[in-house]
Amino acid sequence: MPTTLLPVTVIEEAVRLACRAPSYHNSQPWRWVVQSGTVSLFIDPDHLVASDADGRQALLSCGVALDHFRVAMAAAGYASHVDRYPDPDDHHRIADIRLSRLAEVTVAQRRRADAILHRRTDRLPFAAPPDWDAFEPTLRTAVDSTANPSGCAVDVIDPADRETLAEASHLTDALRLYDSEYHHEITWWTSPYEVNDGIPHTSLVSAQEADRVDVGRTFPITHNRERRLDVGEDQARLLVISASDDTREGVLAAGEALSAVLLDATMAGLSSCTLSHLTEVPASRDIVAALVHRASPQVVVRLGIAPPLEEVPPPTPRRPLHDVLRVAI
């Protein structure tokens, strides 16, 4: 496998960008180790969410971070050669990455890395994305071009089926109505404290705003003023990313595919919101699976247009680099 002397300062910046990946409740369940000519990505067991009992959401999040890292290193002039699950006895060890120099860095590679910093999870209603028929093939190409698609698929929900997806979203709420552990956990992850993880109130929505988004996770309501009144009801396009199966390899690949979709959408000027609640409860996940005719849907994504001149909330917090990266060379 090609390798090169590890450029530690470049890796540090790439890890910083990789950690901008969206994660379940912004739990950031990853850690990175640089050692013996290799960059390794691990699941961090200290940052798992209790309701993610099988670890699927954490693994999906790590898949996004893995692809973000590859994108960041490409923009810095390095190709990433990824060995997924290199140790069959260590399920926390997600990937080993070796690096080699690229002959050149393209403008597209730099733009893709820039998109990592521009992307954010936007829970407000969107205007309809323009020229969707022209953009949709780009999404499929993005998934096909990830390093390990492993049979992942992107399916766009037909507008005629949107109501069914909205019903599945409401069903998830209904099934969790009396789940006190889940509601305690949601409240904890959205508590207004000065921390490096969790979801700040600036990233949440008011009751009126939530009422205008028919497919979305229910969070504690904030008292933000109502925004995007000119948008009205959410007009986002909805798509589903599915894995070939629910093995750890399949879920990780779906996370990589999610990264590709989010970055392509950002480069196209679209805003996005990643929704995993529809695949966390078996009954609602079955509805999603039936809509896309696939057995292993992993995540739903809303894509649309946000008003260009509105005030943008600050980025959601991230764990400091020294907390997620260990350099042992």
Q: Are residues 169 and 296 in the same domain?
A: yes
Q: Are residues 265 and 226 in the same domain?
A: yes
| 34 or 310, which is more confident | 34
| Residue 165 banded pLDDT, cuts 50, 70, 90 | very high
**Assigned domain for 293 exists:** yes
**Reduced to 3 DSSP states, what percent helix, strand and coil does the chain have, rounded to the nearest 5?**
40, 20, 40
* φ/ψ bin of 115: left (φ > 0), alpha (ψ from -120 to 50), beta (otherwise): alpha
User: Among 41-50, 111-120, 218-227, which is the least confidently predicted range?
Assistant: 218-227
In tens, the pLDDT along 301-313 reads 999 999 988 888 8
Q: In this model, does residue 51 exceed pLDDT 50?
A: yes
Q: Are residues 185 and 225 in the same domain?
A: yes
Chain-wide mean pLDDT for the chain? Answer: 93
Q: In CATH, what number is assigned to the domain containing residue 60?
A: 3.40.109.10
Mean pLDDT across 157-181: 96
Query: How long is the chain?
Result: 329
Q: Are residues 100 and 230 in the same domain?
A: no
Using a CB cutoff of 8 Å and minimum separation of 24, what contacts does 4-12 make? Answer: 4/78, 4/99, 4/100, 4/101, 6/34, 6/37, 6/39, 6/99, 6/329, 7/76, 7/78, 7/99, 8/34, 8/327, 8/329, 10/73, 10/76, 10/78, 11/39, 11/73, 11/327, 12/321, 12/325, 12/327
Q: In this model, does residue 260 exceed pLDDT 60?
A: yes
Q: Which residues contact 211 (CB under 8 A, 6 or more apart)?
A: none
**Nearest one of 72, 60, 76 to 117, comparing CA atoms:** 72
**Assigned domain for 53 exists:** yes
Q: Are residues 142 and 70 in the same domain?
A: no
Q: Are residues 140 and 286 in the same domain?
A: yes
Q: What is the pTM of this model?
A: 0.95
Q: Which residue has the tokens 């890890």?
A: 15
Q: Are residues 295 and 323 in the same domain?
A: no
**Alpha-carbon distance 32 to 51, whole Å?**
24
**Assigned domain for 109 exists:** yes
Crossing angle of helices 8-18 and 56-75, rounded to 10°: 130
**Nearest one of 279, 275, 283 to 175, comparing CA atoms:** 283
- Structural domain including 112 reads 8-119+319-327
Q: Are residues 39 and 158 in the same domain?
A: no
**Assigned domain for 96 exists:** yes
**Nearest one of 49, 41, 50 to 197, comparing CA atoms:** 49
Other Cβ atoms closer than 10 A to 252: 25
Q: In this model, does residue 154 exceed pLDDT 50?
A: yes
**Alpha-carbon distance 313 to 55, whole Å?**
30
**Assigned domain for 240 exists:** yes
pLDDT at residue 195, as a whole number: 79
How many structural domains compose the chain? 2
Amino acid identity at 158: D
Q: DSSP code of 154?
A: E
**Assigned domain for 1 exists:** no
Task: Please give the order of strands across the beta sheet that includes 38-43.
Answer: 78-84, 93-101, 38-43, 30-35, 325-327
Q: Which residues contact 197 (CB under 8 A, 6 or more apart)?
A: 26, 27, 28, 47, 189, 317, 318, 319
**Alpha-carbon distance 124 to 310, whole Å?**
12
Task: Please give the order of strands across the beta sheet that includes 237-242.
Answer: 153-156, 237-242, 297-304, 271-275
Q: Are residues 175 and 60 in the same domain?
A: no
Q: Which residues contact 25 (CB under 8 A, 6 or more apart)?
A: 49, 185, 186, 189, 198, 199
User: Among 70-79, 193-202, 297-306, which is the least confidently predicted range?
Assistant: 193-202
pLDDT at residue 1, as a whole number: 46
**Assigned domain for 102 exists:** yes
248 within 8 A of 148, measured Cβ to Cβ = no
**Assigned domain for 3 exists:** no
317 within 8 A of 196, measured Cβ to Cβ = yes
